[in-house]
Structure 1
């Protein structure tokens, strides 16, 4: 079916969408964890994670060059492996949002507490109130204007650029973390960094609104990942120069900011809070619509796609998502939520890499303006690396992700069975 979306997005705009999607709250939260897991080799964890993300991004680029339909990974996997696999990708993508939103909520309170220590005992209340507020705002149709996006982009980039400049000039500090070694934790460091790289696939979703989608997506995805990898490496080095003990800091860049200049702690904390809140706002907008789409398309009960009449917002999906995020955020730790997010995200990445391989055989003659060299070698390598990433996961997170996948498949199966038994007249055309 031909989409009627206005084609207005060019390569620079899509590149900014990708960069803004990747550089979010994660980079304010992970440098300490990476330093703790990888020790003096933390910077190389960023490089390896970046290379893996680039290989996965190349698979996204080839897949996206074959289609102009909006939808991203779900479109590619449906074409390659059918509706059921496509549903699981959409379902796990929603789980990614839920776990990511919950993890960011924990990080949000950690940074606020670094500035106002007295609020630490109110962690649960703050988490519930902020999530509830975002759900209310989305229920009543608050729009994310371009001005808001620009504001949050500047708010997060300015303190990060200051950190890099001052940190690299801080030559008297140590670049080591003083904690950990490469050992068996290096792979886990690479794994958690996928959380910070997540979002590059956002550049592949609005293809129906791009002037030249087949060229634009490939340039935007690859350009985003190369640029962000270098940016992240500079941040880790700078933060380690400023505070060699970031591995034990709850708000790592705030701790580094304290060593920048008088007021640096406040600058970095405000930047982190605005960035994390901006990312949370984006997730609060996108996550319910992912769930809504699954209900609308018949993968889940149609009540999930119920609309608030006066505002035309997916009210059921908003509050189902929000309540689950509240539960996850108040019962899970930041690290466990990040790992659950990554497990769900890597499942989506793996499905896309496999889809590229499958489509090389099932859609051999299809037009591919962006075609990876060396046949299926690169998507196969990317798929193997996705499996390697999953092998770095803890048993609890893998089990939780598997359980979520099984629940999704059960709901999908029951929904499809129910639909086949309903009279044809009960369905919309």
Structure 2
């Protein structure tokens, strides 16, 4: 179907979309967890996760160079494996948003509690109020939602750069760059980091609005992941130099900030809160629209595609997503929600890698302005690494992700049968 979107996005703008999609609230929440899991090998966990993300990103880059329409992973999966598999990719992508938003909500309370300890007693109330406010904001217009995202996109980088500068010149701490033995949870550390690297695929979605999508996406995806890997390693190094005990901190960068200078804890806490809310704002804007799109394409019940006439916003999808996030955030822990997010995300990444392999055979003559060398080796290796990371998940998390997938398929089947019955009746 021909798209009528205006092609105005150039490479620097798409690169910013990618970086903004990756660098979010997650990096404020994970350094302590990574230090706990990987110990002295924390920096190397970032490097390994970055290399895996780059290989997956290369698969995205080739796939995206074959298409110019908006949709990202959903479009690639449909071309390679059909409508049903494409639905599961879209559905699990939405689950990624829901679980990630829930994890960020838990992290927000942790940072607020570091500055105002009394907040901890009202954890669930704070979570529900913030989620409800974001849903209201997006109910009353996409411009309000997108403006909020832009503001937080700029604000969140300031404390992180400040942490790096102060941490690297700090003389009171050290960090070994050598690989040390005895880190039995190194694989799980890499797994958890996929949460922090997730989002680079946002650069592939607005292809229908890019001046030269086939060239732009590949440059933006690879540039984003290389830059972010270096940035994250510097943050972990600086935080550990400032506070060698961040492995036990619930708000790790706030703890590191307390060693920066007088008022450093407040600076990092405020920065983290703004960044986490900013990331939540982006998720609140994007996630309901993914659910709405699945309903619009008749893959989910039509009620989820209902639009608020006055403001032309997907009101049912917004509040369905928001209420589920409230439930996830108030009943789940930060770690369990991150692992659920990563399981769903890896399903999407695996589908893209497999799609690239299939399309090499299914669409041999298709134009590929960005074609990976070594045949199918890179997407095949990326797919194997996705499976390896999934194997690091706990059985409980894999079961939870599987249950969510089955629920989606049940809704999909019911919708398909209802649509077919309606067509037969009208015919």
Contact 1:37 1:181 in 2 (8 A): no
Q: 1:292 and 1:346 mapped to 2: Cα distance?
A: 22
1:174 is displaced (CA, Å) by: 3.1
Q: Deviations over 1:174-196 (max 9, x none)?
A: 3279xx96432000000000000
Q: Counterparts in 2 of 1:5-404, with a 5 A limit?
A: 5-144=5-144, 148-175=148-175, 182-404=182-404
Contact 2:138 2:145 in 1 (8 A): no
Q: Deviations over 1:298-319 (max 9, x none)?
A: 1111011011111111111111
Q: 1:144 and 1:370 mapped to 2: Cα distance?
A: 36
Q: 1:57 and 1:392 mapped to 2: Cα distance?
A: 21
Q: 2:93 and 2:142 mapped to 1: Cα distance?
A: 23
Contact 1:56 1:382 in 2 (8 A): yes
Q: 2:203 and 2:302 mapped to 1: Cα distance?
A: 29
Q: 1:399 and 1:339 mapped to 2: Cα distance?
A: 12
Q: 2:364 and 2:35 mapped to 1: Cα distance?
A: 45
1:278/1:181 CA distance change after superposition, 3 Å:
farther
1:205 counterpart SS class: helix
2:143 counterpart SS class: coil
Provide the TM-score with structure 1 as the length reference: 0.97
1:110/1:176 CA distance change after superposition, 3 Å:
farther
Q: 2:306 and 2:181 mapped to 1: Cα distance?
A: 51
Q: 1:334 and 1:58 mapped to 2: Cα distance?
A: 30
Contact 2:295 2:305 in 1 (8 A): yes
Contact 1:192 1:338 in 2 (8 A): yes
Contact 2:137 2:145 in 1 (8 A): no
Contact 1:93 1:344 in 2 (8 A): yes
Contact 1:41 1:182 in 2 (8 A): no
1:418 is displaced (CA, Å) by: 1.3
1:403/1:79 CA distance change after superposition, 3 Å:
same
Contact 1:176 1:240 in 2 (8 A): no
Q: 1:182 and 1:217 mapped to 2: Cα distance?
A: 40
* Residues 166-175 or 92-101, more deviating: 166-175
Provide the TM-score with structure 2 as the length reference: 0.97
Q: 1:181 and 1:270 mapped to 2: Cα distance?
A: 36
1:143 counterpart SS class: helix
1:352/1:183 CA distance change after superposition, 3 Å:
same
Q: Residue 417 of structure 1 corresponds to which residue in structure 2?
A: 417
Contact 1:39 1:176 in 2 (8 A): no
Q: Work out whether 1:406 is the aligned partner of 2:406.
A: yes
1:423/1:362 CA distance change after superposition, 3 Å:
closer
Q: 2:181 and 2:90 mapped to 1: Cα distance?
A: 37
Q: 2:45 and 2:26 mapped to 1: Cα distance?
A: 15
Q: How many residue pairs align between the two structures?
A: 425
Unaligned runs of 5+ in 1: none
Q: Deviations over 1:187-208 (max 9, x none)?
A: 0000000000000000000000
1:410 is displaced (CA, Å) by: 1.1
1:151 is displaced (CA, Å) by: 2.7
Q: 2:182 and 2:104 mapped to 1: Cα distance?
A: 27
Contact 1:176 1:244 in 2 (8 A): no
Q: 1:411 and 1:15 mapped to 2: Cα distance?
A: 36
1:2 is displaced (CA, Å) by: 1.1
| RMSD of aligned alpha carbons | 1.5
1:150 is displaced (CA, Å) by: 4.2
